Amino acid sequence: QQQVKQSPQSLIVQKGGISIINCAYENTAFDYFPWYQQFPGKGPALLIAIRPDVSEKKEGRFTISFNKSAKQFSLHIMDSQPGDSATYFCAARGVPDKLIFGTGTRLQVFP
Amino acid sequence: DAGVTQSPTHLIKTRGQQVTLRCSPKSGHDTVSWYQQALGQGPQFIFQYYEEEERQRGNFPDRFSGHQFPNYSSELNVNALLLGDSALYLCASAWGNTEAFFGQGTRLTVV
């Protein structure tokens, strides 16, 4: 019940395309769902986050879609750029507030 | 604002030794969490400190211990190091239950 399942494991997208990463969870007590971007040798950087009372949140080229009934959420990266090439992690925050991370998606954007 | 800072950046230790990793939280943050990230995996929650007390703990043995100081900085100690303890150790800080920000991590190699 504490797991967050993330797919796909890796993703190759052409420059200008849309990257979509999906996550699913079981525990309905999770109250906050962030996405982190991590470059090799660096710590995860918060990209965008959503709470379960909101179905969509957009920040620039990044959008989270949240489906509470299906217990699924996804990250959409519009107009993907080579600089977006990184590993992306979804996470869910339990109570009290510890983060449960997905297994990560390695995104490669080719020019 | 220096963000979350961790030291050292890299560390090589021998099996059986003990190690101490350090973290200074982002200014204004009072909660520090530690995560272990094995190569190719998502971060795994070790424990969290708030008001100098361990507030909750993940599924890690007692060889992993920590401390939080009055200035909110924190240490992670690992005793009797095993080869499997080789990983990137991440510190994250937050104020209350707001967004968690991660440091760059300490890369620990046990030989």
Pairing mode, if any, of strands B19-24 and B5-7? antiparallel
All domains of chain A in start order, with CATH: 4-110 (2.60.40.10)
CA distance B16 to chain A (A): 26
**DSSP code, position A32:** B
Residue B25 is classified by DSSP as P
Q: What percent of chain A has pLDDT over 90?
A: 88
Does B41 contact chain A (CB < 8 Å)?
A: yes
Q: Does A43 touch chain B (CB under 8 A)?
A: yes
Amino acid at residue number B15: R
- For chain B, the structural domain boundaries read 5-110
The model's pLDDT over A65-93, given as tens digits with 9 standing for 90+, comes to 999 999 999 999 999 999 999 999 999 99
- The string of pLDDT tens digits covering residues B29-83 is 999 999 999 999 999 999 999 999 999 999 999 999 999 999 999 999 999 999 9
- End-to-end CA separation in angstroms for chain B: 36
Task: Determine the residue type at A31.
Answer: D
What is the distance of C-alpha B95 from the center of its chain?
17
**Residue A95's pLDDT is what?**
67
| A-chain residues near B101 (CB < 8 A) | 46
In sequence order, what are the beta bridge partners of A87? A38, A106
What sign has the CA pseudo-torsion A21, B43, B107, B87?
negative
Q: Which CATH architecture has domain B5-110?
A: Sandwich (2.60)
